[in-house]
Amino acid sequence: MAKKQPAKTGKVTKQRPKKQSGALQDIRVLDLTWLGPGPFCSTLLGDLGADIIKIHEPDVERRGGFIKHMLPDSPEHPGLRNCRVMGLDLKAVDGRNIFYDLAKTADVVMESYRPGVTRRLRIDYRTLAKINPRIVYVSFSGYGQTGPYRDLVGHDINYISIGGLLGLTGKANGSPVIPGVPIADFAAGGMVAAIDILAALRERDRTGKGQYADVSLTDGIVGMMSVWINPYLSWGVLSKRGETWLGGKWSWYNVYETRDGKYISIGALEPHFYANLCRLIGRKDLIGHQFAEGDKGGEIFRYFKKVFLTKTREEWLEILRQKDTCVAPVYSIDELVSDPQLIARKTIDELPHPTLGRVKQVGSILKLSDSPFRVRNWSTRFGQHTKEILNELGYDKARIKAVRKKGVIPE
């Protein structure tokens, strides 16, 4: 029996929202993700100017969990920037047909369902590529779409575990230490996906055809760990927790408590930085012993711990910044948001908001000379842009009313 094809949904008007700008202003992304790597990726693409349409179930109460907290019901919460939100029931025939119409106008689709779910919903890459051969389709998963672990559930902590990062993080002879941010989600997933998308769009410029990206968060972590994995594969050199160059083995690449109970980080890896450090802490005699181990290495560690307790963090920063030593304060979040460097670069910024005036937020981490970041819109409630997006597709009032009555889109 021949496989049933998606229903033909008629002519679709390909319109873009007004006030688009940025390097990706002609790119539309349909984002079916709401946790971890997908939202981070769509934030990057949206900050670059892409038209991000985040799609959720019409009734978010049915979904529950974290999704309800993405747009808090608070007038003081700015919401999500540079994206539009649309409620749509993808399990309903009418909902899928609307999605197919959207796909005709889209450049990218991102999803993070369990492997196989999109095929059952008939919104998988093969289906959409028949509707729009130019589509770039990204699937996020913990372990990938293939292999014996493809159906296992997990979260960031599990992916950094199997990828070796968690096992290498922490002090020697101590327990593994969980990083403070989801590295697998954001770096190994969201950033990797953004690179995949940009590369696939560039390839499409040459071929006219989109393609599929299988983004495994575990694969991304393993790639990030290659600096330690490859030496083991090549020469049998096994790196252990707290015993690597960058993991706490050396006194001159470490974290120290200061007199006021705060901390500073020292990264004096190069010999001339280490020499400057030794001079500024009053121990020129240690300059020739940067890589000393055993008793001498222990002596250096003990001295560093003792001397940094003699002054406050700010006092040490003032002293050690007289020369190149690679020193920085270990900030808490309430401290970093006031740092003059981050403010000067608008990494911490005041952004315009339609109802709140100006709101402090993390700005864009992507800074292009000819395509500057700007805030085009905010999404403050679920389903906010559903009617607007349907209007862009050419749906009239009667058709919108009909699908709303069926519960396919929110009230």
**Strand ranges (DSSP E) for 94-252?**
108-111, 136-141, 212-216
| Pairing assessment for the beta strands 28-31 and 51-56 based on DSSP bridges | parallel
What's the average model confidence in pLDDT over 202-220? 98
Could you give the 3-state DSSP secondary structure of residue 289? helix
Percent of residues, the chain, with pLDDT higher than 90: 87
* Catalytic residue (one of 185, 196, 219, 385): 185
Percent of residues, the chain, with pLDDT higher than 70: 93
**What is the model's pLDDT at position 1?**
44
For the question of residue 289 being annotated catalytic, the response is no
Q: Above 80 in pLDDT, residue 13?
A: no
pLDDT tens, residue by residue, 82-105: 999 999 999 999 999 999 999 999
**What is the model's pLDDT at position 17?**
66
Class of domain 28-224+360-405: alpha beta
**What is the model's pLDDT at position 401?**
95
**What is the model's pLDDT at position 34?**
87
Nearest to 56 by CA among 377, 381, 399, 404: 381
pLDDT tens, residue by residue, 135-167: 999 999 999 999 999 999 999 999 999 999 999
**What is the model's pLDDT at position 59?**
80
Q: Above 60 in pLDDT, residue 4?
A: no
Class of domain 253-257+263-329: alpha beta
pLDDT tens, residue by residue, 264-321: 999 999 999 999 999 999 999 999 999 999 999 999 999 999 999 999 999 999 999 9
For the question of residue 151 being annotated catalytic, the response is no
Q: List the domain boundaries for the chain.
A: 28-224+360-405, 253-257+263-329
> pTM for this one?
0.92
Tokens 């993808």 -> residue: 90
391 to 85, 236, 272, 400: CA distances (angstroms): 14, 61, 63, 9
Q: Above 90 in pLDDT, residue 16?
A: no
pLDDT tens, residue by residue, 179-200: 999 999 999 999 999 999 999 9
* Catalytic residue (one of 59, 155, 339, 349): 155
Q: Above 60 in pLDDT, residue 2?
A: no
Residue-averaged pLDDT of the chain: 93
